[in-house]
Chains A and B, each alone.
Chain A
């Protein structure tokens, strides 16, 4: 299929890896530098117990940075791609949940909703942010699949 060929073309995969690395490194470093702010933002989701909020706020940005470095270097690429897809899917659902909480509390329309989701880019428009996260999860799967293709045939039973 043509789309599959284009998406899995080495240059396309390289471009996606570099874009992903840029996004992850920017967002990760920003959060590493402001752990308290990030912890506050995570708290707003009401999804994690208070006792582990700070630990998550300290470790999660590093996971982003390490994944970003993996995308650049090619080291542990499949693991980074799975983590990226998993994290972005969870983030998308978490943002949707928080959006639902805000909508039910304030009556604001979903299409007018803007808040700081803690993604490292300040206050953002939520409908596009959710789509963006799902898209990033998809990019992770493309990178993963591009590596699957490279696996030696003898490993396939």
Chain B
């Protein structure tokens, strides 16, 4: 049986250092020149930056990104509801949904996609656009659900990134047990 000799240990260590060094150089270099490059040193995940720094969330239009999923803010969400542009989906759990949701939103729990989707498939195929939200800006389930629905051929998809937390903080209506309360 051949053991891990000092020769092997040093060789492996040097190789790992070489691979990591090349990865750093390649990654940072490519990121600096790529149109999809991101801010490596900053903290783009703070509440006031995040996806809004990359996507033009204010008016719902996309910047340079080719992603078919559009991130929208509170005002755009209100317009979506007022103009009855399509269906609203709540990507949170059934328990969270029961505690309150945006009026008219349908529950489509991301982690139970197969069952939830089959319930809404006909409806989803009949609408011209979909708006999805989840809990708050830190929650990514709305984006995951958007990706899944996009893969199933549904477009356009709007994601209200602020989610229910942002909705409530701006005094948006909440529906609970079929009744609306706490409106504007």
Task: Indicate whether A53 reaches chain B with its CB closer than 8 angstroms.
Answer: yes
How many chain A residues touch B (CB < 8 A): the figure is: 51
Q: Could you say which interface size class chain B belongs to?
A: 35 or more
Q: How far apart sit A51 and B46, CA to CA, in the bound complex (Å)?
A: 10
Task: Answer whether A155 and B30 are a contact pair too, CB < 8 Å, given A80-B15, A114-B113.
Answer: no
**Contact: B31 with A108, CB < 8 Å?**
no
The contact of A108 among B37, B39, B111, by CB within 8 Å, is B111
Mostly, the A contact residues are: helix
Task: Indicate whether A78 reaches chain B with its CB closer than 8 angstroms.
Answer: yes
Q: How far apart sit A117 and B161, CA to CA, in the bound complex (Å)?
A: 20
Scan B93-110; emit 1 where CB is below 8 A from any A CB, else 0.
Answer: 101000000000000011
Task: Indicate whether A135 reaches chain B with its CB closer than 8 angstroms.
Answer: no
Set of chain B residues within 8 Å of A80, measured between Cβ atoms? 15, 19
The contact of B151 among A36, A76, A122, by CB within 8 Å, is A122
The contact of B40 among A55, A63, A115, by CB within 8 Å, is A55
Q: Please give the distance in Å from B91's CB to the nearest CB on chain A.
A: 11
**Contact: A62 with B12, CB < 8 Å?**
no
Task: Answer whether A79 and B44 are a contact pair too, CB < 8 Å, given A58-B38, A62-B23.
Answer: no
Q: Give chain B's interface residues, CB within 8 Å of chain A.
A: 2-5, 7-8, 11-16, 18-20, 22-24, 26-28, 30-31, 34, 36-46, 54, 93, 95, 109-113, 140, 143-144, 147-148, 151
Q: Give chain A's interface residues, CB within 8 Å of chain B.
A: 32-36, 39-41, 43-44, 50-51, 53-55, 57-63, 65-67, 70, 76-80, 82-83, 102, 105-108, 112-116, 122-123, 148-149, 151, 155-157
